[in-house]
Amino acid sequence: MRKSLQQQISFFLVTGIAFLIFLVSCQEMPQAQQSPSATPPSQTDPTIVPVQLPPLPYNYDALEPYIDAETMMVHHDRHHATYVDRLNEAIQQNPDLQGVSVVTMLQDLNRVPEAIRTAIRNNGGGHLNHTMFWQIMAPNAGGQPTGALAEAINSTFGNFDTFKQQFNQAGSSRFGSGWVWLVLNSQGQLQIVSTANQDSPIMDGLYPVMGNDVWEHAYYLKYQNRRVEYLDNWWNVVNWTEVDRRFTQAKGLQAQLSTRRLQAVSSQEFRQANGTAERLPITCAYYQQQSPVVPSQLFDPTDHPL
């Protein structure tokens, strides 16, 4: 009887241990099977890093009272962060695009696979536009530009006040969400344009010297529906030092390039000349070889961290 009890205990112990081993092995097996294939190649390549959200170069409340701290926090930490997250998600769907700059992709969206084209347009544009936006604002800023930029504004628009008036008019008349811009065009001239949603001027071969975000998320908490008041107050936070740096860089680079190469960006010429290129499968190497329409040096490398 005692022996039988010992046999039963031994039996249960052995069975229990065996069952535990079985359970543990069942849990480890899928991991062991998944690890080589479940990790995307990009995560094992240390040279490929996702697009990063650039830090705000000042405190949330630095632009008070013209732009409130809560708006800056939500705008940077949530809206811009979401553009970055969704941009990375889109790029991960097509590993061949990893390492291709946002600027390069936006310059000819037809070469981006159709399945992620809209995502790249909206979130790549959103990332690029906001990266510039934080830099061209600063505390204790405002006033007027000086030097070559002031001269160019005066010669193009007559005087600074007229320029501001036309810029604000373009911003207030943009229906729905979008941006208003001062750009340098392919002829090296300043021009005011506005774009819908997160479209970037570089999609039309225009260099964004400065731009104001007229999405409601940029002003609604403080100004509600009063976009005109926001547009007026925004001039108090314009960082002319940075805007002037962008203008000087754009002018210098533009001067180095032939007019033809610049004009090709905004015209249909490129697509016509390249025929069916946009239907070819895209690869990183292909893209870099076949898309030299505008040298990436035209754009500020800090605009496109990729």
HSE at residue 196, side-chain half, CA atoms within 13 A, is 2
Which of left, alpha, beta for 147 (phi over 0: left; psi -120 to 50: alpha)?
Answer: left
- For 228, the token pair is 């005109």
Nearer to Mn ion, 60 or 215 (CB): 215
Structural element, H or E, at residue 261: helix 259-266
Task: Please choose, out of 55-63, 215-223, 258-266, 297-305, the segment that lies near Mn ion by the rule CB under 5 A.
Answer: 215-223
Question: Is residue 60 near Mn ion by the rule CB under 5 A?
Answer: no
192 backbone dihedrals φ, ψ, rounded to 5° = -100, 125
Sequence-ordered list of residues with C-beta below 8 angstroms from that of 74, at least 6 positions apart, any chain: 217, 221
Nearer to Mn ion, 55 or 275 (CB): 55
Question: Is residue 215 near Mn ion by the rule CB under 5 A?
Answer: yes
Residues β-bridged to residue 137: 238
Widest pairwise Cα distance in the chain:
111
Nearer to Mn ion, 215 or 270 (CB): 215
Distance in Å, CB of 40 to Mn ion, minimum: 30
Task: Name the residue whose CB lies closest to Mn ion.
Answer: 213
Number of residues that bind Mn ion (CB under 5 A): 2
Nearer to Mn ion, 215 or 247 (CB): 215
Question: Is residue 300 near Mn ion by the rule CB under 5 A?
Answer: no
Distance in Å, CB of 213 to Mn ion, minimum: 4
Interface residue with Mn ion, options 108, 199, 213, 303 (CB under 5 A)? 213
Footprint on this chain of Mn ion (rule: CB under 5 A)? 213, 215
